[in-house]
Structure 1
Amino acid sequence: MQLFDLHCDSLVNFKTLQSDFLCDKTQFSLRELGKFKRLCQTMAVFIPDEIRGEEAVEYFKVHRDYLKKLTKKQPELAEQAYTAEDIECITNVGKCAVVLSVESGAALGGKLENVDMLADSGVKMLTLVWNGINELGSGHNTEQGLTDFGKQVIRKMEERKIIVDVSHLNDPGFEDVCEIATKPFIATHSNLRAVCSHRRNLTDDQFKEIVRRKGLVGVNLFENFLSDEHVGDLDSLYRHVYRMLELGGEDIIACGSDFDGADIDVSLDTPAKFAASSDYLLQKGISEKILNKMYFENALEFFRKNL
């Protein structure tokens, strides 16, 4: 069993609950770590839309420090990873490799120099926006593209090797990223609009652009993004995976659960269940080679090439 998950919101939940990697009240935990051959979990510091400015910067720092506290408290379970080599070394000894990310560029507090602060903190991916408007741009509930500041941030992120994440970004913002970005970008937790029509999902053309740029797209388990009927079962997951492969996504398809940030079907609502969903996809005719890429190797290879 293996899983390289590009997005969850569990860190914020751990902090709120004053809990740890063995929490029994969250979708993500390491209570079933022993089932895994290898597990890498990206943990996002999610910045709510009501938090802005210096308050958002401090909110990030508090949660960054809480992750450090947890890895120090439970070193036998998890260790923070900064490179692909780290991920391999950590998972090879049976621990979970944890990658730090940020959901919403509001964490910068409107200051370009805070990109350096994020990079120095070990942040490897930054989701530019959430649902609303921040200093960088606008989420899928709005129509504005990137701000001038947002464009500057992308250039600075590329300098500091923080990966641009376009999940949540609206269509005009996606077009702006395509104009500015000189390096591959990713959608850590996004599905396809052709399968589920929610605006939060990627169009076929957007997905193909990420394929062309050799990025990544992590399949999101949120019921509302898996089907128009809000059914997030294994078959709904399969339909997105199948379409992504039709669009040439074999080398960029990945996993982006959105654990602890979304309503997820009981068949998929833990890391072990998500990893085990590969058995269902295998039964549906997707090859073991492709599943190995989707559940781990594509993300690991992207890290090798881009961090």
Structure 2
Amino acid sequence: MFADAHNDILTTAFSKGENLYKNSCQFDFERAKSINLKLQYMAIWQDTRQKGINFLKNAFYFLDRINEYEINNITQSQKIEDGRINILLSIEDISFINDAYEVELLKQRGVKSATLSWNYENKLCGGAYSDKGLTSTGQKVLKKLLEENFVIDLAHASNKTFFDVVKHLNKPFIVSHSNCFSICPHPRNLTDEQIKIVRDFNGIIGINFYSPFVKDKGKANLNDLAKHIAYIAELIGAQYISFGSDFDGADEFPEGLRGVEDLPNVKEELGKWGFSEKEIENICYLNLVRFTEKFLK
């Protein structure tokens, strides 16, 4: 079985006029079922730097569309069900909201997780390509997200934002799609200090499959991807690792990873690295499930 902490299929497929059952994208339900994927975090991403757009209205559109499908939105059911694909919906860059009440509206529509930023700074905080930290407005939004029991996602956060946010946390958080800075020094990856903080909060790191986050020069392969998993396992333990594929949010992946149907290839590679069957099961599926279940109430 498999679980994945991040993809962008909602905005990608619906923006292209395709459906989620079967499409030309990197993820669809047909392929997900074929490899026994049980839990998928799905993000709604919008470029909030654009002007004159009603981002909240757009988010409602995507949320209405996903609710047309026969899936289990665990925000609404409050449980991960056997025999179905379970979905956790997230907002990637929630800086478009204007007041705390809009967080409640998103929750009512089935959203359970949020990042405060994308790659650039906004009114809430700094993104990965910024030195800005958490603003006073960002503190208010973060407080509301915590009150509503959202999963806080620090993927895309600037270093200062990362450390500012954790000062306000008293529960686990996720970094849904980031890798190891020590292996690939990209601003989107995590330093050893940040990785250890995820452990200290009993959180989860979703390993990103996007090649430039896996290997800094040349095209990555599955061995390069496994290096990040092995590095984190050695540093803090395999129980804090999951997949954060970034399918349909990126266009360059390691050899052997075309889409969701190829997740078994990563599982096979981990076996080559000497991970036990239990460790592989945890990384591929159970770690993210256990983390998610902490927020189902």
- Common fold: TM-score over 0.5: yes
In the alignment, the residues of structure 1 paired with residue 22 and residue 218 of structure 2 have an alpha-carbon distance, to the nearest angstrom, of 27
Q: Secondary structure at 1:218's aligned position in 2? A: strand
Counterpart among 81, 94, 99 of residue 74 in structure 2:
81
Contact preservation (8 Å) 1:83, 1:303: no
Alpha-carbon deviation of 1:124? 1.3
2:61 counterpart residue number: 62
Counterpart among 294, 297, 302 of residue 283 in structure 2:
294
- TM-score w.r.t. the length of structure 2 is 0.94
Structure 2 spans left out of the alignment, 5+ residues:
none
Give the 3 Å change call, closer, same or farther, for CA 249–118 of structure 1 in structure 2. Answer: farther
Counterpart among 200, 207, 212 of residue 195 in structure 2:
207
Stretch of structure 1 that moved more, 115-124 or 208-217: 115-124
Give the 3 Å change call, closer, same or farther, for CA 82–230 of structure 1 in structure 2. Answer: farther
Alpha-carbon deviation of 1:283? 1.5
1:195 counterpart residue number: 183
Alpha-carbon deviation of 1:249? 3.0
In the alignment, the residues of structure 2 paired with residue 4 and residue 179 of structure 1 have an alpha-carbon distance, to the nearest angstrom, of 29
Alpha-carbon deviation of 1:107? 3.8
Match of 1:80, as an amino acid?
Answer: N
In the alignment, the residues of structure 1 paired with residue 283 and residue 165 of structure 2 have an alpha-carbon distance, to the nearest angstrom, of 24
2:49 counterpart residue number: 50
Alpha-carbon deviation of 1:52? 6.0
Contact preservation (8 Å) 1:253, 1:294: yes
Contact preservation (8 Å) 1:49, 1:132: no
Matched residue count: 295
1:1-307 alignment, distance < 5 Å: 2-51=1-50, 55-69=54-68, 71=69, 75=70, 78-82=71-75, 86-87=79-80, 89=81, 92-93=82-83, 95-108=84-97, 110-262=98-250, 263-307=252-296
Stretch of structure 1 that moved more, 117-126 or 203-212: 117-126
Alpha-carbon deviation of 1:275? 3.3
Q: Secondary structure at 1:7's aligned position in 2? A: strand
User: Among the aligned pairs, what percent are the same residue?
Assistant: 28
- TM-score w.r.t. the length of structure 1 is 0.91
Structure 1 spans left out of the alignment, 5+ residues:
none
Match of 1:4, as an amino acid?
Answer: A
Q: Secondary structure at 1:259's aligned position in 2? A: coil
Runs of 4+ aligned residues of structure 1 deviating over 3 Å after TM superposition are 51-54
Deviation sequence 1:121-155 (CA, Å, 0-9, x none): 22111011001122211111111101111111111
Give the 3 Å change call, closer, same or farther, for CA 53–115 of structure 1 in structure 2. Answer: farther
Q: Secondary structure at 2:95's aligned position in 1? A: helix
Contact preservation (8 Å) 1:40, 1:97: yes
Q: Secondary structure at 1:299's aligned position in 2? A: helix
Alpha-carbon deviation of 1:179? 1.1
Give the 3 Å change call, closer, same or farther, for CA 169–158 of structure 1 in structure 2. Answer: same
Contact preservation (8 Å) 2:182, 2:192: yes
Contact preservation (8 Å) 1:234, 1:277: yes
Give the 3 Å change call, closer, same or farther, for CA 4–107 of structure 1 in structure 2. Answer: farther
Give the 3 Å change call, closer, same or farther, for CA 24–131 of structure 1 in structure 2. Answer: same
Match of 1:211, as an amino acid?
Answer: R
Alpha-carbon deviation of 1:114? 1.3
Give the 3 Å change call, closer, same or farther, for CA 212–83 of structure 1 in structure 2. Answer: farther
Alpha-carbon deviation of 1:105? 1.4
